[in-house]
Structure 1
Amino acid sequence: MIRSAVLLAAGEGSRLRGSAPSKPLCPVAGRPLIDHALTGLAAAGIERVVVTLGYAADRVLAYLSSRSWPVVVEHAIVDHRRPNGVSALAAAPLLAGDEAVLAMCDHLVTPDHYTRLARVGAQGGLTLGIDRRLGHRWVDPSDVTCVATEGDSIVAIGKEMAPHDCYDTGVFAVGSSFFAALATLEAPSLTEGVRLLAADGRARVVDCSDLDWIDVDDAPALAHAEAWRSIVA
């Protein structure tokens, strides 16, 4: 069972600017997104979370410092203008080789989602939680990351990709080989890191189609999230 997590929270969240000064602090059902993520990870049995911060980092750090959390919270500061793989790499030294659940601060999920990835583990590379319910109303087809699989292996991944048979839910289990793959890239992104491991047969999936999740990336998604009590309770 994985006990560490990396929470990517460096983004600017320009499409949510009317609701909050930064994406991690955007309130959903009265609590910031970063609050939902940290408490959800704790409920899943995670004991330590490395949070990567960038845009408005001082403001987010002030919020983190103002609360007592049910997990040990550490942080790393990155340039929010760089690809998201840079944020993951910034957390790697703090993990000291341990596997971790890798999650996005703006993806609201149930604790069971984190638990499932923590139990499966990285499997020698990475494991991605996927959803096979194509065409669901909470998914923005122009923004969601699409995945093509053969059995439990990833064969392709990307935005607006065809054909595809599932969606990337934004929750992974990753190990040292994933960070090593990212380190070889000039502009590391999570998607490119997945592609590198997929080419070696080391990128697998676990089905999370029975679990609720939503990417809170814009005002319509925020409105859906506000009404989604199974996630925000």
Structure 2
Amino acid sequence: MIRTGVLLAAGHGSRLRGSAPYKPLCPVAGRPLIDHALAGMAEAGLTRAVVVLGYGAGAIAEHLARRHWPLFVEVVFTPDPDRPNGVSVLAAAPALKGEQAVLAMCDHLVAPALYARLASTGACDGVTLGIDRRIGHPWVDPDDVTGVETRGAAIVAIGKRLGSADCYDTGVFAIGPALFAALGSFGAPSLTDGVRVLAAEGRAGVVDCSDLDWIDVDDPAALAKAEAWQLARAA
């Protein structure tokens, strides 16, 4: 059972700038996105979270320092928030010291059970991605979501606007040293670059999370859907 989470919270989040100056602090049902993520990781049984900061790092770090969290939270920094998200993933590697972790995106609001499923599945000898086979789900933006093509439990292809996709990338992974090695082979990698390397080696697998809710809170329309979901869940 994985006990450590890595939370990427380094991007600009420009499409939500009208709701909050920094996306991780954007409120959903009265709580910032980063609060939802950290509370969800703790509920899933994780005991430690490595938060990768970049844009707005000072304000977000101050927010984290002001609160008491239900798990141990430490902060690391990406060298450049303008570079692809694989660079942010690599920034977390020294803190993990070779152990596996559940990797998640701060702007993906997910059911805590999704974190738990990846934590119990593990990265095996490569990487494991939580996927959703509900193609056409109304919470998913088809122009922005990362599509995945699978063969059994293996990833065959991954990318945006992937015509052969049979499922969606939920943004929650189980990762380990193999992913960091794959990302390190590039100068400025995206996370997808690393997954593609491992997929070509037959070391990128999936676990079906189609029964669990999640949403990428990336723009005002998605924010409204996330608000409705969380308010209904609370009720």
Q: Smaller-chain TM-score range?
A: over 0.9
Q: Which runs of 5+ in 1 are unaligned?
A: none
Task: Give the C-alpha shift of residue 209 in structure 1.
Answer: 0.2
Which residue does the alignment assign to 1:47? 47
Contact 2:29–2:231, Cα closer than 8 Å, also in 1: no
Confirm or deny that 1:59 pairs with 2:59: yes
Which residue does the alignment assign to 1:27? 27
Q: Distance in 1 between matches of 2:95 and 2:165?
A: 35
Which residue does the alignment assign to 1:144? 145
Which residue does the alignment assign to 1:68? 68
Task: Give the C-alpha shift of residue 229 in structure 1.
Answer: 2.8
Q: Distance in 2 between matches of 1:213 and 1:148?
A: 19
Task: Give the C-alpha shift of residue 163 in structure 1.
Answer: 1.0
Confirm or deny that 1:107 pairs with 2:140: no
Give the AA of the match of 2:155.
Answer: I
CA 1:185/1:230 → structure 2, altered by over 3 Å: closer, same or farther?
A: farther
Q: Give the aligned CA root-mean-square deviation in angstroms.
A: 1.0
Which residue does the alignment assign to 1:12? 12
- The 5 A counterparts of 1:198-217 are 198-217=199-218
Contact 1:225–1:232, Cα closer than 8 Å, also in 2: no
Q: Distance in 2 between matches of 1:4 and 1:129?
A: 17
Q: Distance in 2 between matches of 1:223 and 1:130?
A: 23
Q: Structure 1 stretches (4+) deviating beyond 2 angstroms? A: 229-233
* Percentage of pairs with the same residue: 68
Q: Distance in 2 between matches of 1:150 and 1:230?
A: 37
Give the AA of the match of 2:207.
Answer: V
1:227 alignment partner, SS class = helix
Deviation track 1:59-99 (CA, whole Å, cap 9, x = no partner) reads: 00110011000111111111110110011100010001110
Give the AA of the match of 2:44.
Answer: A
Task: Give the C-alpha shift of residue 230 in structure 1.
Answer: 7.8
Contact 2:130–2:170, Cα closer than 8 Å, also in 1: yes
Contact 1:3–1:48, Cα closer than 8 Å, also in 2: yes
2:92 alignment partner, SS class = helix
Deviation track 1:91-112 (CA, whole Å, cap 9, x = no partner) reads: 0100011100000000000110
Contact 2:28–2:230, Cα closer than 8 Å, also in 1: no
Task: Give the C-alpha shift of residue 232 in structure 1.
Answer: 6.2
Q: Distance in 1 between matches of 2:87 and 2:231?
A: 32
Q: Which runs of 5+ in 2 are unaligned?
A: none
Deviation track 1:127-154 (CA, whole Å, cap 9, x = no partner) reads: 0000000001111101000000000000
TM-score by length of 1: 0.98
Q: Distance in 1 between matches of 2:232 and 2:75?
A: 25
Aligned residue pair count: 233
Contact 1:226–1:232, Cα closer than 8 Å, also in 2: no
Which residue does the alignment assign to 2:119? 118
TM-score by length of 2: 0.97
Q: Distance in 1 between matches of 2:113 and 2:218?
A: 22
